[in-house]
Amino acid sequence: MSVTDEIKERLDIVEVISGYVPLKKAGHNYQGLCPFHSEKTPSFVVFPDTQSWHCFGACGIGGDIFTFIQKRENLEFVEALKLLADRAGVELEAREGPQPAAERHLERLREIIASAAGYYHHLLINAGEAGIAREYLTRRGFPPDTWEAWQLGYALDSWDAAGSHLARAEYTVEEMADAGLIIQREDGTGHYDRFRGRLIIPIRDAQGRPIGFGARVLREEPGRPQPKYINSPQTVLFDKSNVLFGLDMARKAIRDADLAVLVEGYMDVLMSHQVGVSNVVAGMGTALTEQQLGQLKRYTRNITLALDPDAAGAHAALRGLQTARDTLDREWEPVVDPRGLVRQVSRLRAQLRIATLPDGMDPDELARADRVRWLQVISEAKPVVDYYLSVVSQQEDLTTAHGKAALIERMAPLVREVGNAIERQHYIQRLARLVQTDERLVTEAVQTTRMDDGRTGTPGRRNSTAQNGGAPESSPILAPRPAQALRLGRQNADFGLEEYILGQLLLRPDLLPSLDGELIGLTNTPLAAEDFATGENRAILAALQTAGAGLDQVLDALPGSLQDRSQGLADRIRRGPALTDDRLAKELGDAVLRLRERNLDQRMRRLQFVILESETAGDIARLQEYKTLMRSYAAQERHIEKLLHARTMTGSLSKDSGTL
Ligand SMILES: [Zn+2]
C-alpha cells in the first residue's frame, strides 16, 4: 500500500476536517460553514463514504483529505503529506523530502563530493604522478574521451593531499568525514585521506550527480596486499544498496532498448559504453537489491544479468531473481477456472534473463575484443526459468523420488509466474519430461503451489468505489466507449479515467499544451486541478504543468510515493496499444470530457442531497441558489454530452475513411 493510501485509510476525513470546521451530521453526510469563503448558512459538505468534501457555495470546489489540508494550511502537496503522515503515525521514507537542516547538510555533501571529483579528475589529466593511472587506462583500452565522459580521476599517493585541498576550499573536517573522503586516525590525532595512489571512478546518481567513489589500486606492493577496489563508505548520499553505477549515462539507452543489462564491475560498464552498448549498468555488490530494481523499473521491465559464469555468479543471479520476484509489480491476469469463475492470478511483470559469458571472459574483455559477440551474448540470454532449471536439476538427485519432488516443488512457483500461457505450458512439459511424470501432475503442482497472491474477484485495492476511481488494475483503454460510458458512468464504471489521462500525459508531457488548447476551445477551461478528485493526482498534474519536458523531469519533481504512482500509471499505459499522435490527442480529449461529465454527475447527485437538506430546513433563499446551481450543472453536462456525441460521430467517420 502506498503511503498516501495508508494515510487515507488511517485518518477519517470527518475527524480531520472537524478540527477546522464545526460539522453537523446531516443524513449520511456532514455539513458546516465553508472555511474558504464567508457564509452564514452551511454549504460545505463532507462525504464520509467517498472520504471527500465539496463546497456548493461561492467556491464550488472540493477534493480529498490532502487537498483540504493543502488549501486550509496553504501547503504544497509534500508538506500536506508530511503533516498528515505525522498525524496518522505513518512513517515517511527519507526521500519524501528531508528536513531543511538535513537538506542543507546534504547539499554541502553533494558540493564536497563534486568538488573532490573535479580535483581528482584534474590530477589524472595534469599530475606527473598520475602517469601510472593514464598508462593503466590506456593499456586497458580507454582513451581520454572516456576519462572525460566519466570524469575519471587520480588520488595522489599522499596521506593528506585531498584533505588539505578541500580544507582550502573551506570544507570542514566533519563534512569531509561525513562525505567519506577522510578517515579519523585510530589514536584520534587527526585524519588521513581515504583514497591514496588509486584510479578514481566517480559514482553518480541517476541524475548524474557524483555521490561517492570507487578506487582501483595501481601499484602492487610486495608483502602488502591491498584490496583491488575500495569504495566510498555508506554515507547519507551514498547508499550502496541503492546505487547502480552508470545509470545516469545508461538510462536513455535502457529506455530506448527496453532492456537493462546488469554487469559486475566498473570497467565492464565503461568498456561496454565505449563500444556503443550503453544500456549497461553495474550493481555495487553481487546481488541485485530491491532498491536497484525499483530504480530500473522506471526505465524497463526487461533485465538481463550478465554475470561471471562461476558459482558465485550463479548464486548471485538466483538471489537477484528472488529479489526481483519480491519487488517487481505483478500483473493481474483474469483466468477462468474449471467452474467458470474468473480468478485473478498474478504474473511477474518483468522479463529476467541470464546471459552466459564465454568461459573466463568478463564483459569488459568481451566488449573490447568483439562488440558483435557481446551484443550476441546479450541477445541470447536465457529466461531465468531455464537458467534456474539447469541449476536446480544439477542440485537435486533426479534418480530418487525425493529429488524429483524437490525439483517440482522448487520450480513450480517460478513456472506459475511465467506471464505467457504458452510459455508456461512449455515449462510444464519440460518439467514433466525431466522427472518422467504425467503432465497433469505438474500442472496441478504449478496451480496449487503455495502463493498468497491468487485472489478471487477484483484485484488491487480495497474500497474500489472510492472517489479516486479505485481499481487501478482495470484498464481504461478497455473502458467503455463514450456512448456506453454515458450510461455506465452513473454506475461509477468508468474507473481510472483520471489515471488514464495522467498516464498518457506522463509518457507524452509534450501533448499537454495542445490538449489544453483543445479543451479551452471546447469548454473554456484547460485541464485543471479541479478535474481530479485526489491530492495525489492533482500533485502529479501540477508536476506535469511545471516540469513537463519529459517523464524523468516530471518524476524528479515529485516526492517518492508519487514517483512510484506516476511510474505505475505510465507503465500501465505503455502496456496498452501504441496510438498515433492524432488518435492519442483525440482519446485524451475524449477522456477529459468523460471525466468532467462524470464529475458533474457526481456533483449533481451530491447537490441533490444538499437541496433536500435545505428543503427540510425551510431555507428558501438557499434552496433557490442550489436550484440555480443544479440547472447550471445540468447545462454543462448536456454541453459535454453533445461534444462527446459529436466526437464519436466524427471519430467513426474518420476511422472509416482511414481504412478505405
Ligand atoms: Zn466555499
Q: How far is the CA of 33 from the centre of ligand 1 (A)?
A: 8
Which phi and psi angles does 332 have, rounded to 5°? -95, 130
Three-state secondary-structure class, residue 245:
strand
Cα–Cα distance between 229 and 199 in angstroms, integer? 9
Which phi and psi angles does 248 have, rounded to 5°? -60, -35
Cα–Cα distance between 406 and 319 in angstroms, integer? 19
Q: How far is the CA of 606 from the centre of ligand 1 (A)?
A: 15
Output the pLDDT for position 496. Answer: 77
Q: How far is the CA of 624 from the centre of ligand 1 (A)?
A: 17
Q: How far is the CA of 65 from the centre of ligand 1 (A)?
A: 16
Our measurement of the distance from residue 276's CA atom to the centroid of its chain's CA atoms, rounded to an integer in Å, reads 27
Output the pLDDT for position 602. Answer: 85
Output the pLDDT for position 346. Answer: 47
| 481: its cell numbers | 466507449
Which among 272, 270, 210, 196 is positioned nearest to 243, based on CA atoms?
A: 210
- What does the DSSP assignment read for 33-85? --TTS--SS--EEEETTTTEEEE-SSS--EE-HHHHHHHHHT--HHHHHHHHH
Q: How far is the CA of 64 from the centre of ligand 1 (A)?
A: 15
Q: How far is the CA of 274 from the centre of ligand 1 (A)?
A: 61
Output the pLDDT for position 226. Answer: 83
Q: How far is the CA of 62 from the centre of ligand 1 (A)?
A: 9
Cα–Cα distance between 265 and 284 in angstroms, integer? 8
Farthest-apart Cα atoms in the chain, separation: 98
Output the pLDDT for position 215. Answer: 96
Q: How far is the CA of 60 from the centre of ligand 1 (A)?
A: 6
Which stretches of the chain drop beneath a pLDDT of 50?
98, 311, 329-348, 451-495, 652-660
CB 453 within 8 A of CB 447: no
What is the number of other CB atoms lying within 10 angstroms of the CB of residue 521? 9
Q: How far is the CA of 638 from the centre of ligand 1 (A)?
A: 25
Q: How far is the CA of 7 from the centre of ligand 1 (A)?
A: 25
Q: How far is the CA of 103 from the centre of ligand 1 (A)?
A: 37
Output the pLDDT for position 290. Answer: 65
Q: How far is the CA of 55 from the centre of ligand 1 (A)?
A: 5
Residues 6+ apart with CB under 8 A from 35: 20, 21, 44, 72
| Residue that has been written with the C-alpha cell 565505449 in this structure | 274
Which among 252, 260, 350 is positioned nearest to 575, based on CA atoms?
A: 350
Q: How far is the CA of 53 from the centre of ligand 1 (A)?
A: 11
Q: How far is the CA of 585 from the centre of ligand 1 (A)?
A: 34
Residues 6+ apart with CB under 8 A from 493: 479, 480, 485
Q: How far is the CA of 38 from the centre of ligand 1 (A)?
A: 7
Q: How far is the CA of 618 from the centre of ligand 1 (A)?
A: 21
Q: How many CA atoms are closer than 13 Å to the CA of 511, on its beta-carbon side?
A: 20
Output the pLDDT for position 382. Answer: 83
Q: How far is the CA of 568 from the centre of ligand 1 (A)?
A: 34
Q: How far is the CA of 61 from the centre of ligand 1 (A)?
A: 7
Cα–Cα distance between 170 and 164 in angstroms, integer? 10
Output the pLDDT for position 325. Answer: 57
Three-state secondary-structure class, residue 26:
strand
Q: How far is the CA of 21 from the centre of ligand 1 (A)?
A: 12
Cα–Cα distance between 410 and 388 in angstroms, integer? 10
Residues 6+ apart with CB under 8 A from 618: none
Q: How far is the CA of 544 from the centre of ligand 1 (A)?
A: 27
